[in-house]
Amino acid sequence: MKSRTIKVDYLARVEGEGALYVKISDNTVTDVKFKIWEPPRLFEAFLRGRNYSEAPDITARICGICPIAYQMSSAHAMEGAFGVTVDRQVRALRRLIYCGEWIESHTLHVYLLHAPDFLGYEDAIQAAQDHPELVQRGLQLKKVGNDLMAFLGGREVHPINVRVGGFYKVPTKQELAPFVEKLKWARDAALETVRWTATLPFPDFEQDYEFVALRHPDEYAITEGRLVSNKGLDIALSEYDDHFVEEHVAYTNALRSVIKERGAYLVGPLARYNVNFDKLSPLAQQAARDAGLGPVCRNPFKSIIVRSVETLYACDEGLRIIDEYEMPEKPAVEVQPRAATGYGCTEAPRGILYHRYRVDDQGVILDAKIVAPTSQNQKSVESDLWQFVPKYMDLPTEELTWRCEQVIRNYDPCISCATHFLKLRIERD
């Protein structure tokens, strides 16, 4: 077959503005570009000179879908820098609000953004006409996550209750109690979601990814752990910059991350699942097995099942936390700034979100670095396309284009998060 170009100028059903370009010459893929053309956001630059205590609220503004991830990574980085350890129950509450974010974000993607690809619909509106109960279940499940975020975070979008050292306000055990019924319903709905997603048709496509995720000895890591991969990486957060590097590529406004020694890597639900399957709750493990997943899953299209398993886990874990909750004496511990560098990394719904701050002895931020999950996955998205297109080369262009878009949507990319930085170089003679 002759030469073909696959172009999607405005990707649908992704958060933010991105584009795709694939060039095929004489039946060979010669070029793949996943372009992020949403303008750069420059958050790192305007964090400089601000007080350490402002970092959680400023960085929460980077994303309307995963603000908790930004608040947690920045709060942890500052707490690390100042040698602060939060109360055990405060830590648990942070995990709980994070569970809310996972439920909300994963459910939005599974039901409204990703499912139409498998069901053969243009969008969720069409899907809702034929499967109203299904979409209704998704909306209700998402709402449980939103409610949890709004309750613990003060409000749903850009929550305001997280601070360095803990929270501004913590609930009583009684105030949390109504969430037990909600989460029990959500857990059942999430289990149904796993069962339903397992019945979707998946292309036969596997990749030998390097999965990178946090790993914690006692739990399915969300807020703490070492950075671990299936290819031998096992490092403390402070070693991140020794192993990962961001490269600037001309056609995209997001920096692209690679592991220095090995190149592309994958973060997010699939990575967490593969690195930490043994840490999922028994219910989540069983549901995954019943859905036909083993402890290893290398098919990116099946990330929709894995997101559902993680949603189930988040409900299960939320119930456990509420059951063991006792209101801490103080919502936050005292923080004394000192000159230091702090590292924070937590598992945003789309994967590890790394923050590094250098602060002076007054707590003023001298330097900030933020690496969002979607920037880290950019290279894997492209490498999936390099492998995927040759297998489906014979499809008519329109269908192939649609399939390529699916390859991108497998990652639930959050393009707004990724465009955080642009390297600008002025050359003068």
Decide if residue 216 touches another protein (CB under 8 A): no
Continuous segment of H or E residues that includes residue 231: none
> How many of the other CB atoms lie within 10 Å of CB of 387?
16
> By the 8 A CB rule, do 47 and 368 touch?
yes
- By the 8 A CB rule, do 55 and 164 touch? yes
Shortest gap between Cβ of 289 and another protein (angstroms)?
31
- Are the C-beta atoms of 165 and 334 separated by less than 8 Å? yes
* 3-state SS assignment for residue 198: coil
CA–CA separation, 99 and 349 (whole Å): 9
Q: Which residues contact 401 (CB under 8 A, 6 or more apart)?
A: 6, 7, 8
User: Which of the ranges 20-28, 118-126, 227-235, 282-290 carries the binding residues for another protein, by CB under 8 A?
Assistant: 118-126
Contact call for residue 306 and another protein (CB under 8 A):
no
Nearer to another protein, 136 or 238 (CB): 136
In this structure, which amino acid lies at residue 293?
L
CB 372 within 8 A of CB 241: no
Task: Candidates 6, 24, 68, 108: give the one binding another protein (CB under 8 A).
Answer: 108
- Give yes or no for residue 59 binding another protein (CB under 8 A): no
Beta carbon nearer to another protein, 126 or 199: 126
Out of 83, 120, 132, 390, name the contact with another protein by CB under 8 A. 132
**Interaction mask 309-348, another protein, x per CB under 8 A:** ----------------------------------------
Query: Is 14 a residue that touches another protein (CB under 8 A)?
Result: yes
Q: Closest Cα partner for 353 from 204, 264, 222?
A: 222
Site for another protein in 184-213 (CB under 8 A): none
137-145, 234-242, 271-279, 384-392 -> range binding another protein (CB under 8 A): 137-145
Beta strand 28-36 with 162-163 is unpaired
Residues 38-57 that bind another protein (CB under 8 A): 38
Residues at the site binding another protein, with contacts judged by CB under 8 A: 12-17, 38, 64, 108, 112-113, 123-126, 128-129, 132, 135-136, 139, 142-143, 146, 156-157, 416
